[in-house]
């Protein structure tokens, strides 16, 4: 389960936490929580341990306790509509069929949070989506997955500073350098 496509957001948080020396993960707010400093900003990383469809419960609990406004929340999630390894950031928007985002919207009462959309690609046939999303990454996927996760962690300070465009540019440069062997 840890290496399936639906968990790419958790994978990104794990790499960020390691790279930036976060505290150990501990259980809290219906999830696992780690704290650290990224780009001079105090960051609380939360991996909801509810079902994906109820992940907003954990986020709402943590945001309420720490009085974190939705505009300061960043969600890392899998994105079928982006090619594998492509990463996009946007603020707000619809759930686009993603049940985790739908739960966030319901529990936060707004869609005004940041989304880091981590491309996993589409299996090509709508009937195969569920099995694909819940399936594990294959060994060839590591060629794009590991560089993408490293680029996200290396660029996290820009994201913490809410410099989404700079973050996406840096991630693109880092992942293109990996592909080109530079």
Contact 54, 37 (CB under 8 A): no
Separation between Cα atoms, residue 171 and residue 116, nearest integer Å: 12
Give SS3 for 127. helix
Catalytic (active site) residue 122: no
Separation between Cα atoms, residue 159 and residue 153, nearest integer Å: 10
Separation between Cα atoms, residue 108 and residue 81, nearest integer Å: 24
Contact 108, 60 (CB under 8 A): yes
Catalytic, out of 6, 20, 77, 107: 6
**Dihedral angle of Cα 96, 98, 101, 103, to the nearest 10 degrees:** 120
How far is residue 136 CA from its own chain's centroid? 17
Contact 48, 104 (CB under 8 A): no
Residues with catalytic roles? 6
């Amino acid at each position: 389960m840890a290496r399936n496509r639906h968990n790419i957001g958790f994978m990104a948080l794990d790499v960020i936490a390691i790279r930036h020396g976060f505290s150990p993960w501990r259980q809290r707010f219906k999830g696992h929580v780690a704290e650290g400093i990224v780009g001079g900003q105090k960051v609380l990383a939360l991996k909801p341990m509810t079902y994906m469809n109820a992940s907003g419960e954990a986020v709402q609990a943590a945001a309420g306790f720490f009085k974190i406004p939705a505009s300061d929340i960043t969600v890392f999630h899998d994105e079928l509509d982006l090619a594998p390894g492509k990463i996009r950031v946007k603020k707000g928007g619809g759930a686009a069929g993603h049940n985790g985002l739908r739960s966030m919207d319901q529990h936060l009462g707004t869609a005004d949070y940041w989304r880091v959309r981590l491309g996993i690609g589409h299996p090509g046939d709508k009937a195969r989506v569920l099995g694909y999303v819940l399936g594990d990454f294959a060994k060839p996927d590591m060629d794009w997955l590991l560089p993408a996760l490293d680029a996200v962690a290396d660029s996290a300070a820009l994201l913490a500073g809410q410099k989404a465009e700079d973050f996406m540019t840096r991630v693109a440069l880092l992942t293109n350098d990996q592909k080109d062997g530079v």
